[in-house]
Amino acid sequence: MSHVFISHVEEDQSLARRIAEYLEAQGYRAWYYERDSVPGVSYLIQTGEAIRRAVAVLLIVSPDAIGSYQVTKELVRAHEEGRPFIPVLRDISHAEMRIREPEWREALGAAASVHIPPTGLDVILPRIVAGLQFLGVQAGEERVHPSEQLSPWGYVDVPTGSAEASTFDEIAAYPETLVDRQIGPFLVAALVGQGGSGIVYRVRNPTLGREFALKLFYPVRPDLAPGISAIIASGVHALASLQHPNIVRIHDFANSRIGDADCHYLVMDYVDGKPLDEWSNDLDVEDRLAARLQVAYRVASALRAAHETKYIDVVGWERKGVFHGDVKPGNILVTEGHQPLLADFSMIDVRRLLDPKVVPPSVLKATTVSRPITAAFGTSGFVAPEQENEGVVNAKTDIYSLGITFSHLFRERESSNNEAVDRLADLSDLITAMINRAPKARPRDMAEVVRLLARAALAAGIKLAGGRTTRP
């Protein structure tokens, strides 16, 4: 029978199952990892062989899939095998997908996508079948060569070997593999998350008896390693100089052999907190506005401290100013005591530096470039226009991103009546100025933002005093 490989992340497993069940009811044969894989065989071997024997690849694209190392590897493999794609979009547009995942463009080419409507998946299932038929994939066709013996679980012959990941690709696809293993002097206790530049673990140093967060950066190509290493080292020098109670502290930077690759890792404070937007939604205190303003004030103060920090760079020159480059709710963690911690400064964001469609490898070696590597930093919807278009990262671009973050934090929170709107007038004016598309129209620097934020709090009847939020 025809074989369709369904590429997806774990969060979309239920969608993959429903699509597979429908296709098989129509006479097709589908393969997806949770159902059709077997224990004891590496992820890469199983998915690679399943893709090789597939006729087409159905890609489930969702906000959870964006940035997934696993899905990217499957796309690249399918593209190399010449397999056609049918992208199925959940809660994301085709244009946004192409903007946020530029490295998928070449693989997907001009493949038309189908969007899951609010009415649900059932509406588009017949369209998926029609797409397969248009690609020449007919139900009932036998894809497997007669000389090939099928394994009991379907399409992939099961090789023998160790179940333990032996390559970094396997570790990146299933990062929990490293739990209970050692990275340098640190014992990995738990997986925290995985992002665009690496994998974050909660680790423990047995000698010190302390827990930390360890960010394991994705390995780089050997020919780019010297340039990337210099970029990372420069960023670490700057970040290690930051000393502020609302900035995640750096404790160590080293490299280690992980699987078949040499990887840099960064050790920092472990923060048991929620992203700013999640914290704000769950906030359960009597005066929510006061709590949000206090957190906003602390974040602004932390960013001001970063901008005013002096440090010695890798060649011994004194520098001033550590800019974030990617301020957004997800990079601000808030603890149970309502203490915000600013994290993930973009100075050491590896992945976006390596994307050849954003930053050509020649940039790292060229003496002059037409587009700075900083153009690859930032997050769509939060990045300042001049940063997105020209690669500028400075105090003004951080102010813009912080303004967008504040607009999310205070959006329609306290506007239930005219009195509440009046209380927030100064705050609204400040945010409007911060997100002005013209850099010159924004506040002069973060010191001015901090001053205006304190004034807006007073105008709202809230006093920001020390580490506490109190009524005057």
What stretches of 189-335 show up as alpha helix (H) in DSSP?
225-240, 276-282, 288-308
d(CA 421, CA 123): 43
Q: Please return the burial class of 310, using the count of CB atoms within 10 Å of its CB with bins 0-12, 13-18 and 19+.
A: exposed
| Residue ranges, CATH 3.40.50.10140, the chain | 3-134
Amino acid 387: pLDDT: 87
Amino acid symbol at 429? D
pTM value > 0.95: no
Calculate what percentage of the chain has a pLDDT beyond 90. 40
Listed ranges 45-59, 65-79, 428-442, 455-469; the one with the highest mean pLDDT: 428-442
In sign, the C-alpha dihedral spanning 62, 68, 70, 73 is positive
Of residues 275 and 154, more confidently modeled: 275
Q: What is the pLDDT of residue 225?
A: 65
Quick one: 3-134 is in which CATH superfamily? Toll/interleukin-1 receptor homology (TIR) domain (3.40.50.10140)
CATH architecture of 274-470: Orthogonal Bundle (1.10)
Question: Residue 208 pLDDT > 90, yes or no?
Answer: no
Binned at pLDDT 50, 70 and 90, residue 418 comes out as: low
Pick the more confident residue, 363 or 291: 291
Fold of 172-269: Phosphorylase Kinase; domain 1 (3.30.200)
- DSSP symbol at 247: B
pLDDT at 374: 56
Q: Cite the residue boundaries of each domain of the chain with CATH code 3.30.200.20.
A: 172-269
Structure tokens at 461: 């009847």
pLDDT score of 145: 38
Residues 439 and 282 sit within 8 Å (Cβ to Cβ): no
Which residue type is seen at 302? A
pLDDT band per the 50, 70, 90 thresholds, residue 332: very high
Computed over every residue of the chain, the mean pLDDT equals: 81
